[in-house]
Structure 1
Amino acid sequence: MAQGTRLFVGITRDTLPQVKDKYPFVYLERGRLEIDDSSVKWRDADGNVVPLPVATLNTLLLGPGTTVTHEAIKTAAAANCAVCWVGEDSLLFYAAGFLPTADTRNLKQQMRLASEPGSALAVARKMFALRFPEVDLTGKTLQEMMGMEGSRVRALYQQKAEQYQVGWRGRHFIPGKFTLSDMTNQILTACNAALYGILCSAIHAMGYSPHIGFIHSGSPLPFVYDMADLYKAPLCIDLAFSLTREMAGFYDKHKVSAAFRQRVISLDLLAQVAMDLTTLMEGKRAGRRRQ
């Protein structure tokens, strides 16, 4: 696949971040992470060897075709560099390694905000303000704002159905029975899952927990779902309806994946997520969403 259509591109000596930078993550695929001369090296499928300055990295994202030695993990852990195992371009998230010596500043801030009802509601209100920039949400309860969001999303579904001239009977998804849904719902489900994978990786990479949410509850990844709702409209919903019309009744997972990846790149999602997480967790005023 051409680099222009990739969310992440392969690491080379030229693209490696400088020591002065503190990168949230580096994505690796199809190669071996190992130790050579007491430092971590990445050996790709073509035999190229790239030294990785793990002390300047928050997280290594290990994609398909990756092998890693015990010593490499040990060295990364000693340098406070976390490791996550992900699907291609981090579109799926599988697992994360937790560091016994990791900097927990961001996690502590997240827990502090979530544990106090007033501050938790304030964070939730900022999240909703990103979707309702013209509405004064002062005094609104969480239930009232969730009701507003539900109405907004239902109206958006109908608007997109009319825009792309696609039949729509509502959002339907049965876990484990993907093919029983109609075309639009299948694409929505696939795109949502990919979005959750990216967000889970990004949240881990920035030192936050996907398990501590402010709006959602009763699920394994409430903070991922909180953040996902900020991006679903332009990224998943619009794409699902436009692809439904293009695919004309024949679901093509490769076309869905390619279109989703390109939409992520065009929206500069990774930069937006990093900016939004910082804004929401550091108490800054929420700004208007980029369309």
Structure 2
Amino acid sequence: MADGQRLLLKITRETLPQVKDRYPFLYLERGRLEVDDSSVKWIDATGQVLPLPVATLNCLMLGPGTSVTHEAVKTTVAANCSLSWVGEDCLLFYAAGHLPTADSRNLKQQIALASNPADSLEVARAMYATRFPDADLQGKTLKEMMGMEGYRVKQLYQAKAEEYKVGWAGRNFTPGNFQLSDVTNQILTATNAALYGILCAVVHSMGYSPHIGFIHSGSPLPFIYDMADLYKEHLCIDLAFQQTSDLAGRYDRAKVSAAFRERAVEMDLLAVVSRDITTLLWLDNARRRRK
């Protein structure tokens, strides 16, 4: 796949983070992470050796075809840089290594907001306002806002079905039986999973928890589902109906994945997610406290 279609670019000496900056994450694939002279080195598939400034990174994301030595893990962790294991371009998220000495500032902020009913509701309201800027949300309870969202999403599905002239009988997915769904639902399920993978990787890399949400609850990844709703209309729902029309009703994993990547790159998803999380959990809170 050409770099122009990739969500994350190949690491070279020119694209490495500078010592003066601190980057949220660096994505690596098809190579080996090891230590030489107490320095963490990345050896890619062509044999090129790149020293990695792990002290300037929050997280290393290890994609397909990577291997890592025990010493590299020790040195990386000592520099307060965490590790995550992900699929290609972070479209799947597998696991994360948590540092015993990691800065918990962002996590404490998230917990403080979620544990305060008034602040938690304010964050939820800000999330809904981002999606529905013209809606009157002032004084609405979480239950009322969730009801408004459900109605709007049903309308959105129907509007997209009419726009792309695709039959639509409602959202339907049976876990473990992907093939039983119609093509539109298959694309929705696949793109939702890809979006969740990216968000898990970003949330972990920024030091937040995917398990502490503000709208969703009773699920494994409530904060991921909260954030995903901000981007699903364009990245998942519109794409699903557009692809159903283009593919003439036959699911094609490669074409769906390429279309998803193209949209994610076009909107600069990684930067947008990082900005939105910071805005929702820090800037809005700072404004509330200044009142």
TM range (shorter): over 0.9
Q: Which residue matches 1:288? A: none
TM, length-normalised to structure 1: 0.97
Q: Distance in 1 between matches of 2:228 and 2:179?
A: 23
Matched, 1:134 2:146: no
Q: Distance in 2 between matches of 1:62 and 1:79?
A: 17
Unaligned regions of 5+ residues in structure 2, if any? 286-291
Q: Which runs of 4+ in 1 moved over 4 A?
A: none
- Counting only pairs closer than 5 Å after superposition, residues 90-101 of structure 1 correspond to structure 2 as 90-101=90-101
Q: Which residue matches 1:145? A: 145
SS at match of 1:101: coil
Q: Which residue matches 1:165? A: 165
Q: Distance in 1 between matches of 2:141 and 2:209?
A: 24
Deviation at 1:131, TM superposition (A): 1.2
RMSD: 1.1
SS at match of 1:32: strand
Matched, 1:47 2:51: no
Q: Which residue matches 2:79? A: 79
Q: Distance in 2 between matches of 1:75 and 1:32?
A: 15
* Alignment deviations for residues 252-276 of structure 1 (CA, whole Å, 9 cap, x no partner): 1000111101110011111110110
Amino acid at match of 2:223: F
Deviation at 1:135, TM superposition (A): 2.1
Q: Which residue matches 2:59? A: 59
SS at match of 2:186: helix
Q: Distance in 2 between matches of 1:159 and 1:21?
A: 44
Q: Which residue matches 2:177? A: 177
Q: Which residue matches 1:289? A: none
Q: Distance in 1 between matches of 2:112 and 2:132?
A: 26
Q: Which residue matches 2:273? A: 273
SS at match of 1:40: strand
* Alignment deviations for residues 31-80 of structure 1 (CA, whole Å, 9 cap, x no partner): 00000110000000000011100000000000000000000000111111
| Greater displacement, 216-225 / 132-141 | 132-141
Amino acid at match of 1:11: I
Q: Distance in 1 between matches of 2:86 and 2:135?
A: 38
Q: Which residue matches 1:68? A: 68
SS at match of 2:131: coil
Deviation at 1:283, TM superposition (A): 3.7
Unaligned regions of 5+ residues in structure 1, if any? 286-291
Q: Distance in 1 between matches of 2:177 and 2:138?
A: 41
* Alignment deviations for residues 107-145 of structure 1 (CA, whole Å, 9 cap, x no partner): 000000001111111110100111121123111000000
Amino acid at match of 2:79: A
Q: Distance in 2 between matches of 1:19 and 1:146?
A: 44
Q: Distance in 2 between matches of 1:243 and 1:131?
A: 23
Q: Distance in 2 between matches of 1:154 and 1:232?
A: 13
Amino acid at match of 1:197: G
* Alignment deviations for residues 1-59 of structure 1 (CA, whole Å, 9 cap, x no partner): 11001001111111101111110000000000000110000000000011100000000
Amino acid at match of 2:111: M
Q: Distance in 2 between matches of 1:12 and 1:50?
A: 7
Q: Distance in 1 between matches of 2:28 and 2:266?
A: 22
Q: Distance in 2 between matches of 1:227 and 1:196?
A: 9
Q: Which residue matches 1:224? A: 224
SS at match of 1:27: strand
Q: Distance in 2 between matches of 1:12 and 1:72?
A: 19
Q: Which residue matches 1:212? A: 212
Amino acid at match of 2:243: L
SS at match of 1:130: helix
Q: Distance in 1 between matches of 2:44 and 2:131?
A: 42
* Alignment deviations for residues 188-246 of structure 1 (CA, whole Å, 9 cap, x no partner): 00000000000000101111000000000011100000000000001100000000011
Q: Distance in 1 between matches of 2:115 and 2:75?
A: 34
SS at match of 2:26: strand
* Alignment deviations for residues 158-214 of structure 1 (CA, whole Å, 9 cap, x no partner): 000000000000000100000000000000000000000000001011110000000
Q: Which residue matches 1:21? A: 21
Q: Which residue matches 2:195? A: 195
SS at match of 2:33: strand
Aligned length in residues = 286
Amino acid at match of 1:148: M
